[in-house]
């Protein structure tokens, strides 16, 4: 490994074999953008994630999936059929030079191929293996199938999402498995840290159901502590209280705000009411115009507010916001220090001034298109050896020669035979 490569990132000492489909794809991206040498191992013909849209210039094509692009940055890519005897043999050779294997096959699949943790740790005793699955590697549901919708449902999120007069609802760009991948990444690093201390590798079992459960706001605890099943109520929500609105319509969309009581109200309500008074639109807040932060902390207990009061307050706010745009409200919120935010569209996010100021979006070369594409940037700013996208996502089998010939020393003839046998 050249010196420049060694210094290219925090994790450049590590090689990771990434056998995941969309269920674990984010794990490898996180590690690759931090400098790890992540090799995506796809089945010949390409991984199914390549079929997920949207697509570049709306042309469905295995090399044009924006989903594939977004979540496979900085990885190299090879094709390999690990179900064939030759493929297994090659995979075992790759494992010998790797630090981590991450996979998202159904539980037991890798074991059946004799490529599970037990088998791989015989070849490479300190290997770290991370397995991402819907429900975990063991248990009554281990063989059950879950897509994003079913995961969202079985982890409790669907129950609390959606309008009350329609079925429970998911996010239209669901992210359950991506979140699972983010957990797999941190768990993998923890296991590598332990390996540095002890010399020992180990197996990590990551569950999507549990990962999504960690995105709920304590549905389990509301039942455990208060015998209360939290429920869905559109853009409003209750925590054993009156229903509070979290999104208010305005002139060109919605803004996010929560009246609440206590500390939260003490921050936003006095300046908001001052603003309403300036425009002569106090409405139901007429008697609160002289209230300071302390009054809101001490006199308003969100748990005790009646629905009638909350509705009256919210109606006044809806009237007040009706002739104002998201941007106008957001600017005023910044000026006055109120916790009011735009309900952003994907366009708003692409144009977001804060993200621009922090140089969040980054340009990535796509030599195969002769173009530069804009990508979401780093989730963290680190002062030492920063995050970066070192290359766009791999094309199908793009690094077969580099890895099979260059590193494993296969001959051109062997390469041809393996290709004809559809092993690579």
Partner 1 sequence: MAKKRIFEGLKIADFTWLGVGPIAMKFMANMGATVIHIESSTRPDICRVSPPYKDWKPGINRSAFFAVYNDSKYGITLNLRMPQAQVVAKKLIREWADVVADAHLPGIMEKFGLDKETLRKDKPELIHIATALQGKTGPYSTMPGHGMVGVSLGGITQVTGWPDREPTVPFGALTDFLTFPHMITALIAALLHRRKTGEGQYIELSQLECSVQFLAPPIMDYMINGRILGRMGNRSTYAVPHGVYRCKGEGEKWCAIAVYSDEEWRHFCSAIGNPRWTKEPRFATFMGRKENEEELETLVEEWTANYTPSEVMNKLQTAHVTAGVVASGEDLVADPQLNYRGTHIIQEHPEIGPHIYHPPPYRFSKTPHELTMPAPCLGQHNEYVLKEILGLSDDEVADLLIAGALE
**Restricting to residues 292-321, which ones interact with partner 1 according to CB under 8 A?**
303
395 forms part of the interface with partner 1 (CB under 8 A): no
> Per CB under 8 A, which of residues 195..254 are in contact with partner 1?
196-198, 200, 202-207, 209-211, 213-226, 228-232, 234-237, 239-241, 246-247, 249, 253-254
Minimum CB distance to partner 1 smaller for 235 or for 309? 235
Sole binder of partner 1 in the list 282, 339, 362, 421 (CB under 8 A): 339
- Nearer to partner 1 by Cβ, of 97 and 214: the residue is 214
| Binding of partner 1 by 276 (CB under 8 A) | no
Which of 407, 363, 326 is closest to 78 using CA atoms?
A: 407
Options 307, 323, 345, 372; binder of partner 1; rule CB under 8 A: 345
Distance CA 163, CA 167 (A): 7
- Site residues for partner 1, 22-61, by CB under 8 A, read 26, 30, 34, 52-54, 56-58
Measured in degrees and rounded to the nearest 5, phi and psi for residue 331 equal -60, -45
- Please report whether residue 327 would count as binding partner 1 according to CB under 8 A: no
Q: Count Cα neighbours of 348 within 13 Å in the Cβ-side half-sphere.
A: 13
CA distance 292 to 44: 66
Nearer to partner 1, 84 or 157 (CB): 157
d(CA 74, CA 48): 19
Residue 305: phi and psi, rounded to 5, are: -65, 140
> In terms of C-beta distances under 8 Å and separation of at least 24 residues, what long-range contacts does 138-146 make, across chains too?
138/107, 138/205, 141/209, 142/107, 142/108, 143/106, 143/107, 143/108, 146/208, 146/209
Contact between 360 and partner 1 per CB under 8 A: yes
Q: Confirm or reject binding of residue 11 to partner 1 (CB under 8 A).
A: yes
Q: Is the dihedral of CA 41, 43, 45, 46 positive or negative?
A: negative
One DSSP character per residue, 46-74 reads: --GGGG-S-BGGG---TT-BHHHHHHSTT
Dist. CA 130–CA 127, nearest whole Å: 10
Nearer to partner 1, 189 or 410 (CB): 189
Interface with partner 1 by CB under 8 A: which range of 85-93, 344-352, 395-403, 407-415? Answer: 344-352
> 3-state SS of 199-245?
CCCCEEEEEHHHHHHCCCCCHHHHHHHHCCCCCCECCEECCCCCCEE
- Asked if 277 is part of the footprint of partner 1 (rule: CB under 8 A), the reply reads no
Nearer to partner 1 by Cβ, of 78 and 154: the residue is 154
Judge contact between 180 and 24, C-beta under 8 A.
yes
The region of 93-101, 106-114, 262-270, 284-292 touching partner 1 under the rule CB under 8 A is: 262-270
Q: CA nearest 421: which of 117, 138, 105, 90?
A: 90
Which part of the chain contacts partner 1 (CB under 8 A), choosing from 39-47, 144-152, 305-313, 389-397? 144-152
* Cβ-contact 102, 17 below 8 angstroms: yes
Per DSSP, what are the bridge partners of residue 408? none
Task: Kindly tell me which residue out of 2, 85, 145, 290 binds partner 1, with binding defined by CB under 8 A.
Answer: 145
Pick from 255, 272, 329, 396 the residue near partner 1 by CB under 8 A: 255
- Asked if 329 interacts with partner 1 (CB under 8 A), we say no
Question: Given the rule CB under 8 A, which of 80-88, 194-202, 284-292, 392-400 is the region that contacts partner 1?
Answer: 194-202
Q: Which stretch binds partner 1 (CB under 8 A): 92-100, 138-146, 285-293, 400-408?
A: 138-146
Residue 63 touches partner 1, criterion: CB under 8 A: no
The footprint of partner 1 on this chain (CB under 8 A) covers a number of residues equal to 157
Q: Interacting stretch for partner 1, rule CB under 8 A, among 96-104, 174-182, 305-313, 412-420?
A: 174-182
State which of residues 81, 82, 110, 135 lies at the interface with partner 1 (CB under 8 A): 135
Name the pairing type of β-strands 253-256 and 341-342: antiparallel
Complex with partner 1: residue 260 or 403, whichever CB lies closer: 260
DSSP per residue over 70-120, as a string? HHSTT-EEEE--TTSHHHHHHHHHHHHT-SEEEE-SPTTHHHHTT-SHHHH
Q: In the range 152-171, which residues lie near partner 1 by CB under 8 A?
A: 152-163, 166-171
In angstroms, the CA 72 to CA 75 distance is 6
Q: Which of 1, 114, 125, 138 binds partner 1 (CB under 8 A)?
A: 138
Closer CB to partner 1, 17 or 204, in the complex: 204
Can residue 109 be called a binding residue for partner 1 (CB under 8 A)?
no
322 touching partner 1, by CB under 8 A: no
């Amino acid at each position: 490994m050249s010196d420049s490569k060694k210094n290219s990132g925090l994790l450049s000492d590590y090689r990771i074999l990434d056998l995941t489909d969309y269920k674990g794809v984010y794990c490898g991206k996180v590690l690759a953008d931090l400098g790890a040498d992540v090799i995506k191992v796809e089945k010949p013909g390409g991984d199914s994630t390549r079929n997920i849209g949207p697509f570049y210039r709306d042309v469905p094509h295995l090399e044009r999936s924006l989903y594939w692009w977004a979540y496979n940055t900085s990885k190299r890519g090879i094709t390999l059929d690990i179900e064939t005897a030759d493929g297994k043999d090659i995979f075992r050779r790759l494992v010998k030079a790797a630090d981590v294997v991450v996979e998202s096959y159904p539980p037991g699949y890798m074991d059946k191929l004799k490529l599970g943790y037990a088998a791989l740790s015989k070849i490479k005793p300190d290997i770290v293996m991370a397995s991402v699955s819907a429900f975990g590697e063991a248990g009554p549901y281990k063989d059950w199938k879950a897509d994003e919708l079913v995961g969202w449902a079985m982890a409790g999120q669907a129950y609390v999402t959606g309008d009350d007069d329609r079925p429970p609802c998911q996010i239209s760009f669901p992210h359950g498995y991506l979140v699972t991948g983010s957990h797999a990444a941190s768990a993998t690093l923890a296991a590598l840290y332990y390996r540095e201390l002890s010399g020992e590798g180990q197996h990590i079992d990551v569950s999507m159901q549990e990962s999504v459960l960690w995105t709920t706001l304590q549905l389990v605890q509301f039942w455990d502590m208060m015998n209360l099943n939290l429920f869905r109520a559109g853009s409003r929500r209750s925590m054993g209280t009156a229903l509070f609105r979290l999104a208010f319509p305005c002139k060109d969309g919605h803004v996010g705000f929560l009246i609440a009581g206590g500390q939260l109200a003490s921050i936003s309500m006095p300046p908001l009411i001052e603003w309403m008074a300036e425009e002569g639109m106090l409405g139901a807040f007429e008697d609160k115009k002289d209230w300071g932060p302390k009054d809101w902390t001490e006199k308003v207990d969100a748990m005790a507010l009646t629905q009638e009061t909350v509705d009256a307050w919210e109606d006044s706010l809806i009237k007040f916001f009706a002739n104002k745009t998201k941007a106008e409200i957001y600017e005023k919120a910044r000026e006055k220090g109120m916790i009011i935010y735009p309900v952003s569209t994907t366009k708003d996010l692409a144009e977001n001034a804060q993200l621009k100021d922090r140089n969040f979006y980054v340009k990535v070369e796509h030599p195969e298109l002769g173009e530069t594409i804009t990508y979401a940037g780093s989730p963290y700013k680190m002062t030492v050896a920063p995050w970066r996208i070192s290359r766009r996502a791999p094309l199908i089998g793009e690094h077969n020669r580099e890895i099979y010939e260059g590193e494993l020393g296969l001959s051109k003839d062997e390469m041809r035979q393996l290709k004809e046998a559809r092993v690579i």
